[in-house]
Structure 1
Amino acid sequence: MSTIEKANEKLMAASIASQPKPSVDPSQKLVQTEPVDNVTNQANDGYLKTVEASPPILSLNWEKMRALAFLLPDMGHTLLAEQYRKIKHPLLRKITNNPTGELKNNLIMIASALEGEGKSYTAINLAISIAMELDHTALLIDVDSKKSAISKSLDITPELGLSDYLGSADLEIKDIIYSTDIAKLKIIPSGKADLASTEAATSTKMKQFLSEISDRYPDRVIILDTPPLMASAVAKALAFVAGQVVMVVEAEKTPTTVIEEASQYIENNRFAGFILNKTNLSSSTENLYGNYG
């Protein structure tokens, strides 16, 4: 049995669907009752309080996301939301059923063989879907500094990101984690510096970073949006770090030979399955989902 035939036993599917307008106003801002600066704050009671600066809350462009057919929190009963429920639940079960901690199953790498298969689209939607869970927080990390697709898709312009942290001795992890106006969805953008070298992806600091964010909060699920496997040494290196690797495949376009070759970079115990993207779902959808797990 070939690698692809074996992988078909773990097949997931996702498609694009237009959705209704959100019931939550994305322009709402967080109101801070007491003024603070980056070091101290003189509260109304006269006591001097030390506070920590944190990145500003990012307001995502919901209308742009809706136009691009991204999942949003008000789409709870749509086909798109249901598709991502069926995708995320097996991934979340692996996190729950990993008592020995041999693999960091809450580190989920979203991979693809080639560019343009819908990897970043899938990573964003999966993170939003996980953030809608009662028991989990989603942290979406853009490791593809060449494209920075997460920032572009969500129409955000954060000042700092992962590459800035890796290249600095002064920044802390908290300095690059951004909360958003989607509850329980946090983002670490790619940053301004280039993260295209294998040295950066396999550096001690990168390994410590991934280990710390994986271990610090038990409810946190980390989604890594990485470069294509066939084009990036960074993606190949991260495939040996993530506890679960999901590969996005563009339906009826990506050559089987390319999928076979890219799959060789993923260890069997880390491979979580394929997501067949840009497919026209029909009555066979339930069969596709039924084969996953």
Structure 2
Amino acid sequence: MTEQSKIPLPEAGKGEGERKKSLFERVDDLFGFGGAPVPTELAQPPQKRGKKTAAPVLSAEVAKDTEHTFAEPGPAADLASDRSVQAKAAPIPAAPTPVEPAVTFAAKPQTLDRNHLRQQGLIEPGGKVTALLEEFRIVKREVLLAARTAQANGGGAKAQRVLICSPLPGEGKTFCAANLALAMAAEKDSEVVLVDADFAKPSILSTLGLAGGRGLMDALADPSLRVESFVLATDVPGLYVLPAGNQTNSDSEFLSSKRTAAVLDRLTQGAPNRLLIFDSPPALAASPAAELAKYVGQALVVARADLTGQSALEDALSLLSNCPDIKLLLNAAQYSPSGRRFGTYYGYGE
């Protein structure tokens, strides 16, 4: 270590006014380092490139717009933007469903002979209320309800078609078909077309007392013919008749062709309140009944109380199984367990 005694002390006798040297100054005097000159002014630090300017002061509205403009997009911003675009975009309207023009029947009405209808045991349009009329009023209510329910469930044109059939000849199918059509024609908001589909033995025209002519089979056989041109109008409001047409040995083959659906569709095109009633051949005697069952929404199988056997009825129901709704109609029943006597309530009896 350096001996402290060798460090020279300040000379005695120096005036008190003289400044005492600091330790560093005494070391400098002793070793002769020489003091570095003290600058009178400190050097300014080097300036960065470009002058720093004061940030501009924006108003609240400008600052808000600037922030919105330069904000970085994120998931929330994108979602808000998408919603904004969707809200401003006008909805695209759905294409309107084309409305098919209604098919009408322009034939001049033929007069139904009321005396002839009574002789045939049929309902007299505008006549008195009878037991027969009341019975078919009940039947038509069930048929109309089923047709409207099928329409509401998307049954299409088939819902407007009703097949009247029987297992064997002589059980009253034509009688029931004609009376059901006459009863339905009395409805205030519907029309009915009675179609003679018994091509081998047509009988609707003779039953109603109408003149013959071309009909359904002609329209099926010739694509150039319009089926509506063969429909006969009557003087009974809402009642129309379509004859069977010319006879052919290929009636079943024509019915099974693709044209049948198009021909039948035209009869109800644009007319949702129009029903078709088909008087078909007996199911166990001719094949057209089974073919027609594919095109209808419901079928009424006529069973004669004193004639139709159970096995024949079961076989007929099996042949008509393509129809989704089959009902039984009992004809020529003489006894009612409930003792009902329709018609007498109105002051008439039969």
- In which range does the TM-score fall when normalised by the shorter chain? 0.7 to 0.9
- Identify if the C-alpha distance between structure 1 residues 117 and 264 changes in structure 2 by more than 3 Å, giving closer, same or farther: same
- Cα distance in 1, alignment partners of residues 141 and 180 from structure 2: 11
Quote the offset at 1:285 in angstroms: 6.2
Residue in 2 aligned with 1:197?
Answer: 251
Q: Distance in 1 between matches of 2:199 and 2:286?
A: 11
- 2:290 aligns with 236
Secondary structure in 2 matching 1:230: coil
Structure 1: how far apart are the matches of 2:205 and 2:277? 15
Q: 1:203 Cα deviation (Å)?
A: 1.4
Once residues 200 and 178 of structure 2 are traced to their aligned partners in structure 1, the CA distance between those partners, rounded to angstroms, is 17
Taking the aligned partners of 2:249 and 2:270, their CA distance within structure 1 comes to: 24
C-alpha offsets along residues 161-219 of structure 1, whole Å, 9 cap, x if unaligned?
Answer: 11122222332122111110111100101112327532111112212112232443111
1:72 is aligned to 124
Q: Tell me the equivalent position of 1:147.
A: 201
Q: Distance in 1 between matches of 2:244 and 2:339?
A: 34
Alignment of 1:214-225 (within 5 A): 214-225=268-279
Contact 2:297 2:324 in 1 (8 A): yes
- Aligned counterpart, 2:58: none
Name the structure 2 match of 1:81: 133
Aligned-residue Cα RMSD (Å) equals 2.1
Q: In terms of mean alpha carbon deviation, does 180-189 or 194-203 score higher?
A: 194-203
Could you tell me the TM-score, scaled by structure 2's length?
Answer: 0.63
Matches within 5 A, 1:83-162: 83-98=135-150, 99-102=152-155, 104-162=158-216
- The worse-fitting range, judged by mean Cα deviation, of 97-106 and 157-166 is 97-106
* 1:59 corresponds to which of 111, 133, 138: 111
Structure with the greater alpha carbon radius of gyration: 2
- Residues 120-146 of structure 1: per-residue CA shift (max 9 Å, x gap): 110010011001011211110001022
Do the aligned residues in 2 keep the contact of 1:109 with 1:225 (CA within 8 Å)? yes
Q: Could you tell me which amino acid in structure 2 is paired with residue 189 of structure 1? A: P
* Cα displacement (A) at 1:54: 3.9
Residue matched to 1:39: none
Which SS does the other structure have where 2:328 is aligned?
strand
Q: Per-residue deviation at 1:76?
A: 4.9
Distance in 2, Cα, partners of 1:261 & 1:116:
17
Identify if the C-alpha distance between structure 1 residues 145 and 266 changes in structure 2 by more than 3 Å, giving closer, same or farther.
Answer: closer
Residue in 2 aligned with 1:264? 318
- Does the C-alpha gap of structure 1 residues 90 and 130 become closer, same or farther in structure 2, counting only changes over 3 Å? same
In the alignment, the residues of structure 1 paired with residue 308 and residue 229 of structure 2 have an alpha-carbon distance, to the nearest angstrom, of 38
Alignment check: 8 A CA contact 1:177 1:186 kept = yes
Is 1:252 the equivalent of 2:306? yes
Opposite residue 168 of structure 1, the aligned amino acid is D
The answer for the alignment partner of 1:40 in structure 2 is: none
CA contact (8 A) 1:136 1:220 kept: yes
AA aligned to 2:317 is S
Decide which moves more: 237-246 or 161-170: 161-170
SS at match of 1:83: helix
Answer yes or no: is the 8 Å Cα contact 1:109–1:245 preserved in 2. yes
- In the alignment, residue 153 of structure 2 is paired with which amino acid? T
What 5-or-longer segments of structure 1 have no aligned partner?
1-51, 287-293
Deviation at 1:269, TM superposition (A): 6.3
TM-score using structure 1 length: 0.75
**Alpha-carbon distance between aligned partners in 1 of 2:254 and 2:272, rounded to the nearest angstrom:** 26
Higher RCO structure, 1 or 2 (CA under 8 Å, sep 6+): 1
What runs of 5+ residues in structure 2 fail to find an aligned partner?
A: 1-103, 341-350
| In 2, Cα distance between equivalents of 1:226 and 1:256 | 20
Residue equivalent to 2:34: none
CA distance in 2, matches of 1:257, 1:224: 24
* Aligned partner of residue 117 in structure 1, secondary structure: coil
8 A contact 1:251–1:276 mirrored in 2: yes
Contact 2:192–2:238 (8 Å) recurs in 1: yes
- Matched pairs, number: 235
Matched-pair contact (CA < 8 Å) for 2:230–2:242: yes
Encode CA deviations 1:47-76: one digit per residue, 9 max, x unaligned.
xxxxx9943322223211101210121235
The structure richer in helix per residue is 2
Match of 2:332 in 1: 278
